[in-house]
Chain A
Amino acid sequence: MSNVTAPKPMKPWRATPKELLPNLFAGIFVLCGSWILIEFTGLSGKLGAFLSASILTLISVTLIANYKSGTNAGKNAFFGTLVAIGGILAILPVASIIFTVLVKGTKGIYLGFFTTDMSLASVNDELTVGGILHAIIGTVLLIALAMVISVPLAILTALYLTEIKGPGSRLIRFLVQAMSGVPSIVAGLFIYSAFITGTGRGFSGFMGSLALAILMLPTVARTAEEVLLLIPSDLREAGLALGGTQWRTVAMVVVPAAKSGLVTAIILGVARIAGETAPLLFTTGGGDTVNGNPFNGVMGSIPFAIWKALISGSDESNARAWASILVLLSLVMVLFYTARKLGKRKI
């Protein structure tokens, strides 16, 4: 055995250059074909080019696989390519949005944008005057408060539905589902009519976060329920068989096992509310001054500031709006990244 020299590691499943030749021709065919289609038919523009290239790629890839390895390989290649095209099609709008926001948003970004508010700046002022500090503080406070209100309620709801399975579970599940279909403006109107109008209380950040909590709760509860259902019942039985009560078993075994999924549920909930504008219109009042107290006085937020800047219409406020969108996107990204890191880490 000792004098056997190990053979050189190879990858015989890789295509040789000769076998790749048809692919090269197919590529040229797709490029020329799409050019001809764009030039001589009614198709035009970026989407037209994408559509014709997709169809031609689909045809040529299928034909090559069919010719090389038979009908089944052809079908496999057809659906594989279809899925890939679908994936690209799904990513395109998102990529396009991020690209647009980056291009338009960076023009309005400067240091003062993060350190000043709009209280002394008017819509036609230079971009170097004013900022959205008030809106950033407002959004962070609104999201934090909405989380404090809705996350415990949502997780407890999910635990009731999956662990206790108590009376009324079906009704509660139905109501939570119905709640997730509530239009966001209705949540805002509800808070306005129930807690603001006619009560002597004015607009405040707290009212806004109540409206946001209504929107966040069903998203978190439903996702958390699905995550908890994925935890194998083996683990629950093992906990109980070791002499744990149901409460100890849920707290020590089930919830820790579902931790990263529960974090995902909270992230989805935050994603649901971070950009909400409508429910804040009737509840927060959307001030232009920094207000660190969510229980008193009007409070700005990034979506509100974007809306306000866009409807005022001047070039400067348009640029401010795009910069604010960029800030909101970045804020959400940072939030998600942090939550992911925390969810994975062992505590």
Chain B
Amino acid sequence: MSETVKPSSLASIAATKSARTPGSAPLGTGLEARNLHAWFGKNHVLSDISLDFVAGTVTALIGPSGCGKSTFIRTLNRMHEFIPTAAMAGQVLLDGKDIYAAGVDVTKIRLRVGMVFQKPNPFPSMTIGENVLSGLKLAQLKRSNKEDLMEECLVRAGLWNEVKDRLNAQGGSLSGGQQQRLCIARSLAVKPDVLLMDEPCSALDPGSTLRIEETIRELSKTMTIIIVTHNMQQAARISDYTAFFLADGHAGVMVEVGPTSEIFARPKDQRTENYVTGRFG
């Protein structure tokens, strides 16, 4: 595969997906960032991002390293605030309510907006089965039929057939790709409405990546997915919308957002075109 990807080929990948009408699924009103800024200390890393995530769609965030994509998605489930120097301004609306409003229970927000990290991080002291159900214990949720839930989550994450006979093995005994799917299954168990994925495939081989992409397409029928990726083909394959971020020596900004087929075939901004065609930099 050549380094430079012709825009037409990415556009054709994007066009082959089954067309869907965003927002038609009865999934609430989704997630919305309004005039969002973020800082680390005095370093202004994100400037004035306003972005709607329509319920039941997959949105890909693309852009060069260091442009604030990861910081952005960490503001969406309030993980940003764990960095001691972090600061932010603006609003994030979940079903129309600001998640940064006073009195909001942050653990409830994180239950509704789940997260899958770049590096697979199953809990080392737990078995595969315990890992899947760990969210229930961590959030102290009561649920009957835990066995059914465990199976359901593993099936949806595309891991059930590989682990059904060794649910009591340690999570660390799985391969990297399996561990990442275990992490996806783990985040599904608490039934989030939105799933944030921070380069979930960057450490994985193509086979595992394919499995996870299938999983993402499957999951997007019932939830909103926001995925950061450096893999342009991946963005074209799996997302309904694509947002292009760029930091030009200043704070990161969102250059352009639109339906994925549009972004790859007819980007409106010259910078987007340069990036998606590989002429960037």
Contact = CB atoms under 8 A, between A and B. Distances in A.
Interface of A: 165, 232, 234-235, 237-245, 248-249, 252-253, 256-257, 259, 346
B46 interface: no
A239 B115 CA distance: 10
A237 B135 CA distance: 12
B138 interface: yes
A244 B82 CA distance: 14
Given A239-B138, A244-B139, A245-B107, A234 B117 contact: yes
Nearest to A248: B138
Contacts of A248: 137-140
24 contacts: A165-B84, A234-B117, A234-B121, A235-B124, A238-B186, A239-B123, A239-B134, A241-B110, A241-B114, A241-B117, A242-B110, A242-B135, A242-B186, A243-B111, A243-B190, A244-B107, A244-B135, A248-B139, A249-B138, A252-B123, A252-B137, A253-B123, A256-B123, A256-B126
Contacts of B111: 242-243
Given A232-B121, A234-B121, A259-B125, A241 B137 contact: no
A238 B121 contact: yes
A230 B163 CA distance: 29
Given A241-B187, A257-B123, 7 more contacts: A234-B121, A237-B82, A238-B117, A244-B138, A248-B138, A253-B134, A257-B125
Contacts, number: 74
Contacts of B108: 243
Contacts of A244: 107, 135, 138-139
Given A243-B111, A244-B107, A248-B138, A237 B117 contact: yes
Of A165, A238, A253, A257, the most chain B CB neighbours within 10 A belong to: A238
B183 interface: yes
A30 B7 CA distance: 73
A238 B187 CA distance: 9
Nearest to A255: B125
B238 to A, nearest CB: 21
Given A234-B117, A252-B137, A240 B123 contact: no
A239 B121 CA distance: 10
A242 B190 CA distance: 7
Given A234-B117, A242-B139, A243-B190, A256 B125 contact: yes
Contacts of B190: 242-243
A259 B115 CA distance: 26
A289 to B, nearest CB: 46
B88 to A, nearest CB: 17
B173 to A, nearest CB: 13
5 smallest A-B Cβ distances: which pairs? Answer: A244-B138, A256-B125, A243-B111, A243-B139, A242-B135
A254 to B, nearest CB: 9
Interface in B139-177: 139-140
Interface in B58-85: 77, 79, 82, 84
Given A232-B121, A248-B140, A257-B124, A241 B134 contact: no
B217 interface: no
A216 to B, nearest CB: 26
A234 B125 contact: no
A244 B115 CA distance: 13
B275 to A, nearest CB: 29
Contacts of A235: 121, 123-124
A241 B77 contact: yes
Interface in B105-138: 107-108, 110-111, 114-115, 117, 119, 121, 123-126, 134-135, 137-138
A243 B110 contact: yes
B127 to A, nearest CB: 9
Of B84, B124, B186, the most chain A CB neighbours within 10 A belong to: B124
Interface string B86-118: 000000000000000000000110110011010
Contact of A242 (B114, B119, B124): B114
Nearest to B122: A238
Given A237-B79, A241-B79, A253 B125 contact: yes
